Amino acid sequence: MSSTAKADILARLRQRTHTSPPPERDFSVLEARQWTPAERIERFRQHLESVQGEVIRTTESELNQAILDRLSRSHVRRLLLGRNSPFQAGLAAAKSGDLELHVYDQPIETWQSELFNEIEAALTTTLGGIAETGSLILWPTPDEPRLMSLVPPMHLAVLRVDQLHDTLLQVVREQRWSQGMPTNALLISGPSKTADIEQTLVFGAHGPRELVVFLVDESGSGA
């Protein structure tokens, strides 16, 4: 049945006679949005903070401690990491006794209720960031599944400053997204929120209430 629906719809659409050619698409208004590295960091931070995202500037060598400090400030006891997480060894070595590190290495079906009810925070990598809107780019993988950045009340993400781009358009083009996308890709720009009750902005709707970005600066000028 649906193959005839397809044929019918396409046939009807093809009946239209075009009287004008398709217009030119001039992307220059987007392409013109470029910033210096310092402006990019500032813009990213401002945007994220304006929606209650937290940006912690740090360096490679201080990253683990910065993460642990932040977790202990919120009394997080159960942290979720991806499989083969680059942070696992360092955190395990430096952590204090009451922080449990959980690894997402099982299909969701086997531990859904634990993920939904017990995990307090998740730490993920990012593919980069977008200065224009204060967004993180995440491409979930088998090692770092989709729900990590969605279900736990706190999402911590590590972003390196040299991965900070100007605009979404720039990323899409430079990384050739059109050539192939993962099953799921995301831009995340703050903790989840809603204003559906009389326009009152509330953070922590169905996703995380807190989003903490560790902005890692190789040059060591951070923190």
Partner 1 sequence: MTDTHGAVPFHPNVRTALDNPQIRGNFRRAMDGLMDKRRLAFDDWELDKLRTLGSAVRLNALHHLPELLEQLDTRCRANGIQVHWARDGDEACALITDICRRRNARSVIKGKSMVSEEMELNHHLEQADIEALESDLGEYIVQMAEETPSHIIMPAIHKNTREISDLMHDKTGTEPSLDARYLTASARAQLRERFMNADVGISGVNFAVADSGTLCLVENEGNGRLTTTVPPCHIAVTGIEKVVPSLDDVAPLLALLTRSATGQPITTYFNMISGPRQPDEQDGPEEVHLVLVDNGRSEVYQDEELAETLKCIRCGACMNHCPVYTRVGGHAYGTTYPGPIGKILMPQLMGLDQTPDFPSASSLCGACGEVCPVRIPIPQLLVRLRQESVDGDSLHPAHVKGHGVKRGRLEPWIWRGWAWMHRSPALYRLGTALAARFRRLTPSRLGGWTDYRRAPRPAATTLHQAIKARRTHRRPS
Q: Of the two residues 9 and 223, which places its CB atom closer to partner 1 in the complex?
A: 9
Least CB distance from residue 121 to partner 1, whole Å?
A: 15
Dihedral sign for Cα 159, 160, 165, 169, please.
negative
Least CB distance from residue 214 to partner 1, whole Å?
A: 19
- Chain positions 103 to 132 lying near partner 1, rule: CB under 8 A, are 104-108, 112-113, 116, 132
Q: Of the two residues 142 and 220, which places its CB atom closer to partner 1 in the complex?
A: 142
- Chain positions 158 to 217 lying near partner 1, rule: CB under 8 A, are 167-169, 172-173, 177-200, 202, 204-208
Spatial separation of the C-alpha atoms in residues 90 and 101, rounded to whole Å: 12
Q: Of the two residues 32 and 93, which places its CB atom closer to partner 1 in the complex?
A: 32
Selected binder of partner 1 within 51, 62, 74, 118 (CB under 8 A): 51
Tokens of 109: 């079906």
Q: Say which DSSP state 148 is in.
A: G
Phi/psi for 80 (5° steps) reads -100, 130
- How many other β-carbons are positioned within 10 Å of the β-carbon of residue 145? 22
Asked if 146 is part of the footprint of partner 1 (rule: CB under 8 A), the reply reads yes
Bridge partner residues of 81 (DSSP): 103, 123
Asked if 84 is part of the footprint of partner 1 (rule: CB under 8 A), the reply reads no
- How many other β-carbons are positioned within 10 Å of the β-carbon of residue 90? 15
- Chain positions 9 to 38 lying near partner 1, rule: CB under 8 A, are 9-10, 12-16, 18-30, 32
Asked if 45 is part of the footprint of partner 1 (rule: CB under 8 A), the reply reads no
Instruction: Give SS3 for 97.
Output: coil
